[in-house]
Amino acid sequence: MAASGLTEPQFEVAIVNPRPAPPCSQPPVVEPLDTRSAQRMRFLARCADVPGWRYEVVVRARVTAVVAVVASPVAANETLSDAQIALERRDISGIADPLGNVLEAVGKMSRRALRPGDILRAGQLASPTLVKRGDAVLMVARRDGIEVSTAGEALDGGAQGALVRVRNSNSGQVVRMRVAGAGTVEPVDTPR
């Protein structure tokens, strides 16, 4: 949860089909076997006594966190604004890619229609297309304080950072460039 950047995560853990363990003179050692999904985690509990014992335990966790949710209806391919997003504590146990920050969603386009109360997920959003196929674009190269620009035609469409083919309007040469902004592309090797 720390790596996901979610705010205030909380866990409620329950053992599936609990059974009493035999006595152990010391605290049992618990080792994770499979914790990829909070819906079904497996742990090994073992007692180091002689003769000792080992039990595999299945655990389910309910995970809640403060996440971004849709505050007002959003149409498919609509760019999200700050007013359309709210932060709320929600159960995210079965959600792989919830967004924990409003800024991660503002300015992105929804891939489908979203209803108020829906948890915003990274997979539902896409960066808006800044360059479309056939658009006139400005090809800009900057290095050591020097800037050179020329006109070009986009042969591919793309969002911020996407690699697209561009035909130089002066030379006719086709080169791969990175989308730098609306109607602007830069060489692929330009530091970001």
Which of 17, 48, 63 is the C-terminal boundary of a domain? 63
CATH number at residue 94: 3.90.1210.10
User: What number is the average pLDDT over the span 73-81?
Assistant: 91
CATH number at residue 151: 2.30.30.760
Q: Are 131 and 186 in contact (CB under 8 A)?
A: no
Tokens for 142?
């900057």
User: What number is the average pLDDT over the span 88-106?
Assistant: 87
Which of 111, 126, 141 is the C-terminal boundary of a domain? 126
118 with 96, same domain?
Answer: yes
User: What number is the average pLDDT over the span 105-133?
Assistant: 91
Q: Are 124 and 67 in contact (CB under 8 A)?
A: no
pLDDT of 2 strictly over 70? no
Domain extent, residue 113, equals 65-126
User: What number is the average pLDDT over the span 165-171?
Assistant: 94
Q: Are 100 and 66 in contact (CB under 8 A)?
A: yes
Write the DSSP assignment of 54-78 as a string of letters.
Answer: EEEEEEEEEEEEEEEEE-S-B-TTP
pTM value?
A: 0.63
Judged on CB neighbours under 10 Å (0-12, 13-18, 19+), 87 is middle
Instruction: Count structural domains, the chain.
Output: 3
Question: With bands split at pLDDT 50, 70 and 90, how would you rate the model's confidence at 110?
Answer: very high
Question: With bands split at pLDDT 50, 70 and 90, how would you rate the model's confidence at 138?
Answer: very high
Which of 87, 109, 126 is the C-terminal boundary of a domain? 126
Q: Are 59 and 43 in contact (CB under 8 A)?
A: yes
